[in-house]
Amino acid sequence: MASVPAATPQVSVEAERQAFYERADTQSLAPLWTRLKALVPKAPTPTCAVHCWHYDDVRPYVMESAQQISAAEAERRVLILENPALRGSSQVTNTLYAGLQLIMPGEVAPAHRHTQSALRFIIEGTGAYTAVDGEKTIMQPGDFVITPSWTWHHHGHDGAGPMVWLDGLDIPILAFYNATFREDHHEAEAPVARPTGDALARYGSGLLPVGHRAGSLNSPVFNYPWARTRDALHALTRAGAPDAHTGHLMRYVNPVDGGWAMPTMATMVRLLPAGFSTQAYRSSDSTVFTAVEGNGEIRVDGQVLKLGPRDIAVVPGWMSYTLHADDDWALFSYSDRVAQEKLGFWREQRL
């Protein structure tokens, strides 16, 4: 009787593939098919977390920082608002930075410039100023102030009492493109060549100088005073009902071209009348909110964030949220929406 040959050992498909992957790795190659669903998911997967900073809780730390270091030594005396899911990154979202900056009477935060664009939203105090590209502006609570990319700027305080503002920058965006540059001025204060209020007078009154040519992607108005903004918001309440998903929502505008006030960060302000609740809404941009006046709640992902004046919250992109106003509730916000729109992939969903 003929003998039966022994069965040939079969190498598993997975083991064979793994051996192939290891050989390919020696040439810095990797198989897309093992990573495709993670690289191109069906919907955004948030990398940051929902979070709220109550100003009354963080203010003692902000004030104590003045005992630890001077504005001149620190260059910018800021406590970073770091997202709990991004610890160690100095980021509030995957694309944005946020911090609370303090300047005390008589101090100067020295002049420098950088390729990052910055916004200041004034939280507390009066009498401080920022000087941007040769013009000084006095800052008041609720003012939205722009520091455009690569413009000399410094801060000072000629008044009494502490001054605190929310800093928002596009630092992570520029880091992604490896496009970060900075330069320190040889003097603590950069030269001021134009009178206070010049930019607002020239560009912020529905007028433009004849022959004006845009010299930057930013609005030439660099201080949007809260008094004007507040009047505009409350005027809307007399003209009709708020949008069901966003409330009375307005964007800060570049008067030269009607676009966003800044090229990478979308700045908006809204008013929700007392007792008003929005329907669920989500968009692909992660958003930082701060309450200016009134009280309310942001409800998102099973969490309830109570925001009163000066409280700050972050909502990751593509997470559904609703807003609920206890009384007339004004909210300032910034996000990377404008950058997403320019690149063609911003998306919203009204639920």
Domain count for the chain: 1
Task: Please indicate, yes or no, if residue 273 is contained in any of the structural domains.
Answer: yes
What is the Cα–Cα distance from 110 to 116, expressed in whole angstroms?
17
Task: Please indicate, yes or no, if residue 294 is contained in any of the structural domains.
Answer: yes
pLDDT below 50 — which residues of the chain?
none
Task: Please indicate, yes or no, if residue 9 is contained in any of the structural domains.
Answer: no
Say what the pLDDT of residue 291 is: 98
* First and final C-alpha spacing in the chain: 77
Say what the pLDDT of residue 2 is: 57
What is the Cα–Cα distance from 180 to 8, expressed in whole angstroms?
60
Say what the pLDDT of residue 261 is: 96
The CATH number assigned to the domain holding 224 equals: 2.60.120.10
Say what the pLDDT of residue 207 is: 81
Do 46 and 318 meet the contact criterion of CB atoms below 8 Å apart? Answer: yes
| 326 three-state secondary structure | coil
Say what the pLDDT of residue 78 is: 98
Q: Which two tokens stand for residue 195?
A: 């009178």
Task: Please indicate, yes or no, if residue 291 is contained in any of the structural domains.
Answer: yes
For residue 313, what are the domain limits? 51-350
Task: Please indicate, yes or no, if residue 24 is contained in any of the structural domains.
Answer: no
Tell me the whole-structure pTM to 2 decimals. Answer: 0.93
Say what the pLDDT of residue 208 is: 84
Task: Please indicate, yes or no, if residue 79 is contained in any of the structural domains.
Answer: yes
What is the Cα–Cα distance from 315 to 214, expressed in whole angstroms?
33
Task: Please indicate, yes or no, if residue 307 is contained in any of the structural domains.
Answer: yes
pLDDT digits (tens, 9 = 90+) for 157-210: 999 999 999 999 999 999 999 999 999 999 999 999 998 888 988 888 888 888
Task: Please indicate, yes or no, if residue 261 is contained in any of the structural domains.
Answer: yes
